């Protein structure tokens, strides 16, 4: 190039020097009425042959008559091509530019390549179009130098177009490119690489890999070193660009290295094909009509005439430069003419279809494919045309047609060579995926090794650090694919080095730097030539088959869906599911309603336990059917538990109980049957039915599914139009590996994982919580991946077919995939009988636990309540003890007084002696203690304590029997006593009359005055005051048994608290005065201890009743006050002391009755204990 520029600068200097001597044409050119020239001159720099000049002039004249048709005139100006470029440049200025040529046709001299360049540079200085008809150097394509140059022949670099088509036809995908370091060699390499990339973009099936590019310097004496480098390559297809001399030396050295024999392929350019040392079997190109100067002149002038006509029709044409003195002025018409020429297309030219590209180079040039063959008869080599590269009018593009049967390949072979040296050591890649490949990390520095029988060393493969030492980590690999690789290596007789990869299988993605689609992952490594073989669960699909070879499938499979098995739904209250909550509420309400009805029926029925039995008074409380027992009975019948007590006695209640039992039987049977049905129907949500399941087609927000990014399944969804919606849904949720996706399914982060059926069936067999759903779809197979055009493809395929026939593939399935199907678990069928577990019945156990906790809580409450009751009982017992002490003291004092004065007082009132005489009752016998001074009711600690205090009050007329201290009994006759008073309060001045029907009986052991009440009286029970004992005891009249059956039980006297007694309760005579405030109706009977004096009969009642303090009056002489023993401390004081200790801070008061007006309260108690 530096030499060329030197010549161009020299030519420019010469042009500047010859401008003053330029010849000027004095003849003015004619113009039309628009001012456009009508006469155009075409210059020519041709070879020195005379017939070429004549042909040039004849064609111009012919075009003037056929194309111009009188519109314009064409003239010619031709010159012979000189081998000296300087002389050629001077000739162009003197002979052509002076004549105002509009274009120049330039040929090529027989020797030398610089003369056409000098013409192009000289004319290009004025922008005069130059059309070359034989110059094929790539330098003319540089428009920075040759601004106005066009040519009807293609440059040498365009042979790359034919080479690419030959590779496509022969299906060679790997080659070695050898070229010289000159401009044409490098231009050819650049165009070849561009064409192969365009071919791959248009057709994914074609992938041409240039294994090695070897560049050499022209003119070397030996190329052995260059050839030794390319011999190490696997490819055996050599593309050679070299001139004839260099090609001769290269072929000689290649023959020496035995690189031109069988198995090699040589494809060369036109120059190398002319070498005398070209080996037999070489394929080369020859440009059609490359040396036919007349044909090219004919096509060039036709194109030029059409361009001039278009220029004329456009108008605004200026005259061409007339001398070389003009500088710095651009001829616009010449530039327009250049553009018009470049746009012209000649369909049926002498050299074929003529057109120009943007660089002005010829396109659609036709080539012959020549095969060098040995002529055994004449013992020499000859070129045989075995194909053509030409333009197809039907398809409007260039096509290559080859007769492969007539091609003789190196070694005189008729069969096409593979173009590759079959290596015996292969680089194998695999990927970790169970059960096909298992990995185990080892540390060789610690002496760890792989098991030689079942494992293979497989370093981890890092594509980004493939050339970094120490970047690999050592693993031991085993599994289905590892065993398959061992079988293939043994059968096909090759060695291998295995690398395990943790990257994805590979997908087609756009490269951000180049903007082109490229494969990544394992497939990308195979396509780039890094790996020779991929032995992995690699799915065969059309996208991958375009860029790589697949063997026959070693395992057939499809695509399926993996889900986590949903357990049977079992809520905490699942045992309540057979009934609705409304029915449960009705059953609970019915239990208590029936219990209430049973209680009422048994209570009011005349045949119930309350109203039956020989002795109703002896019926114990716990034996009766109370409401609690009725509830227990209702629940016991419903829950089918034994009822030992508390059953209804009346017929009506028993009828209701039988009806309730029938109701309970129906309810329990319905519950049991419905519970069994719920267990059968209580199944989990059904799994997916397949790829057409609505949950996949129209997923909810919480239903996610995905696959592995860049996998065959991902490509399948991307390829299927009907699954495009699903692909868009899961595109952003893809996982990097199947292990991650399966783990996500187990953790319920992913609802469904779509993957190859063999892997998912393996996972479902090992884990009972996983199931495969639906039928298989997208059926395909796993194949061994190889490079496109790999020589091992057929051998591996035949080996796999042989493995299928011999049963070896079935053995691998049983060993690695089907081995654990029955060991870990059996597939759970949804139709299997439902079994109960803790999950189903946990609610019942929780219910029992709640019952236990509730019972513990209730017993705590009971204990607290019992302690409270005991504290109250203790206070009551203290009150009873105090009142008993007080009462005993009072009775002892009274007995002492009565023992001395009783007889005298009775006789004074008309008492007869023993023997049945009647006498009046003395006041001592009819006295009644008043308890009006006891505390008010609201001041007692409880109602029971207050009632006991009320029992101490004995109304007048309550004395029924007087028993003397000697054991004899005086029978009293008091029939004439006044009527019984009905008032609650009776004045002590008016003694209460003895009620009628009173009888006085004599007993041997003791004499008791009993009050016998007629049957019409409602209150018939008596209270007997025993003075000696200080207590009040219940008694019945022996003469009124029938009436007593109708009486109600009276509570015993107990717990009277003498808290409200003090010294003030004694009247002026030292007698106790008791005040009583009763609240319930009651009757009392006073049982007085026997007196020592005998009392026989008392017939007449006393004329008046007398209070206790009247006993010391003159009418009733008695012992004196000095003989009356001093009373004990008042009970009130004792009670106050006790209450102050237990209830500090309280104050108590008492009431003292007016003298002579002792109040007596009569109270009729209820007749039943249950009403107390």
Could you state, in order of their start, the residue ranges of all structural domains in the chain? 2-153+291-363, 156-289+367-406, 425-555, 579-613+622-680, 915-1171
Binding residues for L-glutamate: 537, 539, 544, 712, 756
Q: Which of 646, 676, 670 is nearest to 586 (CA)?
A: 670
Helix then strand then coil, % of the chain, to nearest 5: 40, 20, 40
428 confidence band (pLDDT: 50, 70, 90): very high
Q: Which of 721, 733, 759 is nearest to 559 (CA)?
A: 759
pLDDT of 966 > 70? The answer is no
Do the domains 579-613+622-680 and 156-289+367-406 match in fold? no
**DSSP type of residue 82:** P
Asked which of 255-269, 300-314, 961-975, 1138-1152 is least confident by mean pLDDT, the reply is 961-975
Tokens describing residue 497: 């080095």
Name 287's bridge partners: 367
pLDDT of 133 > 80? The answer is yes
Other Cβ atoms within 10 Å of 490 Cβ, number: 10
β pairing state of 1022-1026 and 209-216: unpaired
Name 637's bridge partners: none
Mean pLDDT for the stretch of residues 302-320: 89
Distance between CA 700 and CA 729 in Å, rounded? Answer: 11
- The sheet with strand 397-402 has its strands ordered as 209-216, 174-180, 237-241, 265-268, 283-287, 367-375, 380-392, 397-402
Q: Alpha helices of 106-155 — where are they, by DSSP H?
A: 115-125
* Rg, the chain, Cα only: 68
Distance between CA 328 and CA 125 in Å, rounded? Answer: 9
When the pLDDT of each residue in the chain is averaged and rounded to a whole number, the result is 73
Mean pLDDT for the stretch of residues 885-893: 87
Tokens describing residue 505: 């299988």
Other Cβ atoms within 10 Å of 560 Cβ, number: 25
Q: Which of 546, 541, 508 is nearest to 789 (CA)?
A: 546
Q: Alpha helices of 257-388 — where are they, by DSSP H?
A: 270-273, 293-314, 332-343
Handedness of CA 498, 501, 507, 510 (dihedral sign): negative
Could you identify the residue written with the tokens 């009274």?
894
Mean pLDDT for the stretch of residues 1002-1026: 36
β pairing state of 752-756 and 705-706: parallel
pLDDT of 238 > 60? The answer is yes
Give the residue with greater pLDDT, 700 vs 362.
362
Asked which of 375-384, 442-451, 851-860, 971-980 is least confident by mean pLDDT, the reply is 971-980
Mean pLDDT for the stretch of residues 589-616: 73
Predicted pLDDT of residue 21: 35
Predicted pLDDT of residue 1152: 42
Predicted pLDDT of residue 591: 87
pLDDT of 410 > 90? The answer is yes
Contact 648, 594 (CB under 8 A): no
Nearest-5° Cα angle at 336, 332 to 339: 140
Distance between CA 753 and CA 889 in Å, rounded? Answer: 101
Give the residue with greater pLDDT, 1160 vs 165.
165
Give the residue with greater pLDDT, 444 vs 301.
301
670 confidence band (pLDDT: 50, 70, 90): confident
Tokens describing residue 489: 């290596």
Does 425-555 carry CATH code 3.40.190.10? yes
Percentage of the chain surpassing pLDDT 70?
66
pLDDT of 1019 > 50? The answer is no
Name residues whose C-beta falls within 8 Å of residue 65's C-beta, 6 or more positions apart in sequence: none
Predicted pLDDT of residue 913: 42
| Torsions phi, psi for 217 (to 5 deg) | -85, 130
Predicted pLDDT of residue 848: 59
Binding residues: 537, 539, 544, 712, 756
Tokens describing residue 1164: 């009729």
Distance between CA 834 and CA 479 in Å, rounded? Answer: 38
Asked which of 249-263, 315-329, 766-780 is least confident by mean pLDDT, the reply is 315-329
Q: What does each C-alpha distance from 176 to 214, 220, 370, 388, 447 come to in angstroms?
A: 8, 20, 20, 24, 44
Could you identify the residue written with the tokens 């009506």?
652
Predicted pLDDT of residue 545: 87
Q: Alpha helices of 565-650 — where are they, by DSSP H?
A: 581-604, 627-638
Give the residue with greater pLDDT, 352 vs 1063.
352
Other Cβ atoms within 10 Å of 208 Cβ, number: 21
Give the residue with greater pLDDT, 226 vs 976.
226
Distance between CA 165 and CA 389 in Å, rounded? Answer: 9
pLDDT of 184 > 80? The answer is yes
Name residues whose C-beta falls within 8 Å of residue 628's C-beta, 6 or more positions apart in sequence: none
Name residues whose C-beta falls within 8 Å of residue 69's C-beta, 6 or more positions apart in sequence: none
End-to-end CA distance of the chain: 139
Task: Tell me the angle at which helices 332-343 and 293-314 cross, rounded to the nearest 10 degrees.
Answer: 120
Buried/exposed code over 1037-1051 (b: 16+ C-beta within 10 A; e: otherwise): beebeebbeebbbbe
Nearest-5° Cα angle at 389, 388 to 392: 110
Predicted pLDDT of residue 131: 94
Predicted pLDDT of residue 328: 58
pLDDT of 358 > 60? The answer is yes
Asked which of 529-543, 583-597, 804-818, 1110-1124 is least confident by mean pLDDT, the reply is 1110-1124
Predicted pLDDT of residue 237: 94
**DSSP type of residue 477:** E
| Fold assignment, 156-289+367-406 | Rossmann fold (3.40.50)
Q: Which helix (H) or strand (E) holds 782?
A: strand 770-787
Name 785's bridge partners: 534, 550
Could you identify the residue written with the tokens 């169970």?
434
Asked which of 106-110, 159-163, 678-682, 768-772 is least confident by mean pLDDT, the reply is 678-682
Mean pLDDT for the stretch of residues 117-121: 90
pLDDT in tens, 17-74: 444 333 333 334 445 555 566 788 999 998 877 888 899 999 998 888 888 777 788 8
pLDDT in tens, 921-963: 333 333 333 344 445 555 555 565 566 556 654 333 333 333 3
Could you identify the residue written with the tokens 């829950």?
639
1078 confidence band (pLDDT: 50, 70, 90): very low
675 confidence band (pLDDT: 50, 70, 90): confident
163 confidence band (pLDDT: 50, 70, 90): very high
pLDDT of 781 > 70? The answer is yes
Handedness of CA 103, 109, 113, 115 (dihedral sign): negative
Does 579-613+622-680 carry CATH code 2.40.50.140? no
Percentage of the chain surpassing pLDDT 90?
24
505 confidence band (pLDDT: 50, 70, 90): confident
Tokens describing residue 600: 């009422």
The count of C-alpha atoms lying within 13 angstroms of the C-alpha of 235, restricted to the half-sphere facing its C-beta, is: 26
Distance between CA 145 and CA 183 in Å, rounded? Answer: 14
Helices and strands, number each (H, E), in the chain: 29, 37
β pairing state of 367-375 and 283-287: antiparallel
pLDDT of 1109 > 60? The answer is no
Distance between CA 724 and CA 572 in Å, rounded? Answer: 43
387 confidence band (pLDDT: 50, 70, 90): very high
**If one looks up domain 2-153+291-363 in CATH, what number appears?**
3.40.50.2300
Predicted pLDDT of residue 570: 59
Q: Which of 763, 688, 744, 754 is nearest to 715 (CA)?
A: 754
Asked which of 348-352, 559-563, 718-722, 1168-1172 is least confident by mean pLDDT, the reply is 1168-1172
Mean pLDDT for the stretch of residues 989-995: 42
477 confidence band (pLDDT: 50, 70, 90): very high
Predicted pLDDT of residue 434: 85
Predicted pLDDT of residue 38: 76
Predicted pLDDT of residue 941: 56
pLDDT of 1062 > 60? The answer is no
pLDDT of 314 > 90? The answer is no
């Amino acid at each position: 190039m530096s030499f060329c520029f030197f010549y161009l600068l020299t030519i420019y200097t010469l042009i500047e020097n010859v401008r003053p001597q330029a010849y000027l044409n004095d003849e003015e050119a004619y113009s039309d009425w628009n001012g456009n020239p009508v006469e155009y001159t075409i210059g020519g720099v041709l070879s020195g042959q005379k017939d070429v000049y004549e042909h040039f002039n004849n064609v111009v004249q012919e075009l003037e008559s056929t194309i111009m048709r009188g519109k314009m005139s064409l003239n010619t100006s031709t010159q012979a091509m000189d081998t000296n470029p300087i002389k050629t440049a001077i000739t162009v200025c003197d002979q052509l530019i002076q004549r105002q040529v509009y274009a120049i046709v330039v040929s090529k001299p027989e020797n030398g390549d610089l003369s056409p360049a000098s013409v192009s540079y000289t004319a290009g200085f004025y922008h005069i179009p130059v059309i070359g008809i034989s110059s094929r150097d790539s330098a003319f394509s540089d428009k920075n130098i040759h601004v106005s140059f066009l040519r009807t022949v293609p440059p040498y670099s365009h042979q790359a177009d034919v080479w690419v088509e030959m590779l496509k036809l022969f299906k060679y995908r790997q080659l070695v490119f050898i070229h010289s370091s000159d401009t044409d060699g490098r231009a050819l390499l650049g165009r070849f690489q561009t064409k192969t990339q365009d071919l791959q973009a248009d057709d994914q099936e074609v992938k041409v890999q240039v294994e090695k590019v070897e560049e050499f310097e022209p003119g070397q004496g030996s190329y052995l070193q260059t050839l030794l480098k390319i011999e190490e390559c696997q490819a055996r297809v050599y593309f050679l660009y070299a001139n004839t001399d260099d090609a001769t030396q290269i072929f000689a050295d290649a023959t020496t290295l035995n690189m031109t024999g069988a198995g090699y392929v040589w494809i060369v350019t036109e120059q190398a094909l002319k070498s005398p040392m070209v080996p037999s079997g070489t394929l080369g190109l020859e440009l059609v009509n490359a040396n036919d100067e007349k044909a090219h002149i004919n096509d060039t002038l036709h194109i030029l005439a059409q361009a001039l006509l278009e220029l004329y029709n456009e108008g605004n044409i200026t005259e061409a430069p007339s001398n070389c003195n003009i500088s710095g002025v651009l001829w616009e018409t010449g530039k327009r003419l250049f553009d018009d020429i470049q746009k012209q297309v000649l369909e049926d030219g002498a050299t074929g279809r003529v057109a120009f590209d943007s660089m002005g180079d010829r396109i659609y040039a036709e080539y012959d494919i020549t095969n060098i063959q040995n002529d055994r008869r004449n013992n020499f080599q000859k070129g045989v045309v075995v194909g053509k590269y030409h333009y197809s009018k039907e398809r409007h593009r260039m096509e290559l047609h080859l007769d492969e049967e007539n091609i003789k390949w190196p070694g005189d072979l008729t069969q096409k060579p593979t173009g590759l040296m079959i290596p015996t050591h292969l680089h194998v890649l695999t990927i970790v995926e169970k059960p096909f490949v298992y990995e185990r990390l080892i540390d060789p520095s610690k002496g760890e090794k792989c098991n030689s029988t079942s494992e293979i060393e497989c370093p981890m493969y890092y594509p980004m650090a493939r050339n970094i030492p120490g970047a690999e980590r050592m693993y031991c690999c085993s599994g289905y694919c590892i065993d398959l690789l061992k079988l293939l290596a043994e059968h096909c007789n090759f060695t291998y080095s295995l690398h395990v990869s943790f990257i994805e299988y590979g997908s087609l993605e756009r490269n951000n730097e180049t903007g082109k689609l490229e494969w990544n992952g394992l497939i990308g490594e195979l396509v780039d030539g890094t790996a020779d073989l991929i032995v992995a669960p690699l799915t065969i699909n059309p996208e991958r088959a375009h860029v790589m070879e697949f063997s026959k499938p070693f395992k057939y499979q499809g695509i399926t869906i993996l889900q986590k098995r949903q357990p049977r739904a079992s809520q905490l209250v699942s045992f309540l599911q057979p009934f609705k909550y409304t029915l449960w509420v009705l059953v609970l309400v019915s239990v208590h309603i029936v219990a209430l009805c049973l209680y009422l029926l048994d209570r009011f029925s005349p045949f119930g336990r309350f109203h039956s039995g020989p002795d109703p008074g002896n019926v114990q409380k716990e034996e009766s059917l109370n409401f609690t027992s009725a509830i227990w009975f209702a629940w016991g019948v419903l829950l089918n538990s034994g009822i030992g007590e508390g059953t209804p006695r009346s017929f009506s209640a028993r009828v209701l109980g039988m009806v309730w039992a029938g109701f309970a039987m129906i309810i329990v049977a319905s519950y049991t049957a419905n519970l069994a049905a719920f267990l059968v129907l209580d199944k989990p949500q059904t799994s997916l039915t397949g790829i057409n399941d609505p949950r996949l087609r129209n997923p909810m927000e919480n239903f996610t599914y995905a696959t592995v990014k860049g996998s065959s399944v991902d490509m399948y969804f991307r390829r299927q139009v009907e699954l495009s919606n699903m692909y868009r849904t899961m595109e952003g949720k893809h996982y990097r590996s199947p292990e991650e996706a399966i783990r996500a399914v187990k953790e319920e982060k992913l609802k469904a994982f779509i993957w190859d059926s063999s892997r998912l069936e393996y996972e479902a067999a090992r884990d009972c919580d996983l199931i495969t759903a639906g039928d298989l779809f997208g059926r395909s197979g796993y194949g061994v991946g190889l490079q496109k055009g790999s020589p091992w493809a057929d051998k591996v395929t035949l080996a796999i077919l042989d493995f299928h026939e011999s049963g070896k593939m079935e053995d691998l399935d049983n060993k690695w995939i089907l081995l654990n199907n029955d060991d870990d678990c059996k597939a759970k069928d949804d139709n299997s009988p439902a079994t109960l577990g803790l999950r189903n019945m946990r609610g019942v156990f929780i219910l029992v636990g709640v019952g236990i906790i509730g019972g513990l809580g209730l017993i705590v409450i009971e204990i607290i309540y019992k302690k409270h009751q005991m504290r109250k009982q203790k206070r009551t017992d203290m009150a009873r003890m105090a009142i008993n002490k007080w009462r005993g003291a009072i009775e002892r004092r009274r007995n002492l007084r009565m023992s001395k004065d009783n007889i005298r007082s009775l006789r004074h009132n008309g008492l007869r002696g023993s023997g049945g005489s009647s006498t009046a009752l003395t006041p001592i016998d009819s006295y009644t203690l008043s308890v009006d001074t006891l505390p008010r009711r609201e001041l007692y600690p409880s109602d029971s304590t207050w009632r006991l205090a009320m029992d101490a009050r004995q109304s007048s007329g309550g004395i029924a029997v007087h028993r003397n201290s000697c054991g004899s009994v005086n029978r009293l006759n008091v029939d004439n006593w006044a009527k019984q008073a009905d008032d609650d309060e009776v004045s002590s001045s008016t003694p209460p009359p003895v009620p009628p029907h009173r009888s006085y009986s004599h007993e041997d052991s003791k004499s008791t005055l009993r009050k016998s009440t007629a049957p019409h009286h409602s209150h018939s029970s008596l209270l007997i005051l025993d003075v000696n004992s200080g207590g009040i005891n219940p008694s019945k009249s022996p003469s009124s048994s029938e009436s007593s059956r109708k009486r109600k039980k009276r509570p015993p006297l107990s717990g009277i608290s003498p808290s409200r007694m003090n010294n003030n309760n004694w009247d002026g005579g030292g007698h106790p005065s008791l005040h009583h405030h009763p609240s319930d109706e009651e009757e009392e009977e006073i049982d007085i201890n026997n007196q020592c004096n005998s009392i026989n009969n008392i017939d007449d009642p006393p004329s008046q009743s007398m209070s206790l303090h009247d006993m010391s009056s003159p009418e009733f002489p008695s012992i004196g006050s000095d003989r009356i023993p001093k009373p004990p401390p008042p009970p009130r004081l004792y009670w106050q002391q006790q209450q102050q200790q237990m209830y500090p801070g309280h104050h108590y008061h008492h009431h003292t009755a007016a003298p002579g007006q002792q109040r007596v309260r009569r109270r009729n108690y209820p007749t039943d204990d249950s009403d107390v």
